[in-house]
């Protein structure tokens, strides 16, 4: 199964607005270039890059009756056409070079309630809030890049 990268977002510091970009470098040491979370590699840090499925975000928006941009979820990557693995250790390839390893579920925080009543609960079931990952192989990613699960 192959999906597509529909969105890339980053924020320079905690609580900073999300910046949408069309292309970005991803490194093992820094995650998504310009995103403050990418360099936070202490143990047991497992949230270097975050991903969310477009269908899951759209479903949460329908549940709360709002239309809020996906980047307000504060995820780094918006994907479509692929079900994100819900198993730590599974690897995803984005574009030609970047490989991410799923580490855990991306639990929705209390900030989601500030966006819309009930949004945190709407993002909670079945990893609907997305997945966290670490960078295994770096490179460049761009909008519309292919995303696929790496074979073990």
Classify domain 2-141 by CATH number: 2.40.33.20
Give the pLDDT score at 147.
98
Please tell me the predicted confidence (pLDDT) of residue 88: 94
Instruction: Return the pLDDT at 115.
Output: 83
For residue 69, which phi and psi values (nearest 5 degrees)?
-60, 140
**pLDDT computed for residue 44 by the predictor:** 64
d(CA 103, CA 86): 9
Q: Mean pLDDT by 10-residue block, N- to C-terminus, for the chain (152 residues)?
A: 95 90 95 88 78 95 92 93 94 97 88 83 89 96 97 68
Taking Cα atoms as reference points, which of 1, 27, 18 lies closest to residue 138?
27
pLDDT value of position 152: 61
């Amino acid at each position: 199964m192959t999906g597509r990268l529909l969105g890339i977002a980053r924020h320079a510091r905690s609580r900073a607005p999300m910046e949408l970009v069309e292309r970005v470098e991803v490194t093992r040491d820094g995650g998504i270039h310009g995103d403050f979370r990418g360099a936070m590699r202490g143990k047991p840090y497992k949230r270097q890059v975050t991903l969310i499925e477009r269908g899951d975000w759209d479903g949460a928006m329908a549940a709360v009756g709002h239309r809020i941009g996906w980047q307000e979820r504060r995820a780094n990557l918006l994907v479509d056409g692929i079900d994100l693995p819900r198993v730590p250790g599974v690897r995803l390839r984005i574009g030609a070079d970047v490989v991410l390893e799923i580490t855990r579920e991306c639990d929705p925080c209390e900030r989601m309630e500030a966006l819309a009543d009930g949004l945190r609960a709407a993002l909670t079931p079945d990893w609907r809030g997305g997945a966290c990952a670490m960078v295994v192989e770096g490179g460049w990613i761009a909008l519309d890049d292919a995303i696929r699960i790496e074979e073990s």
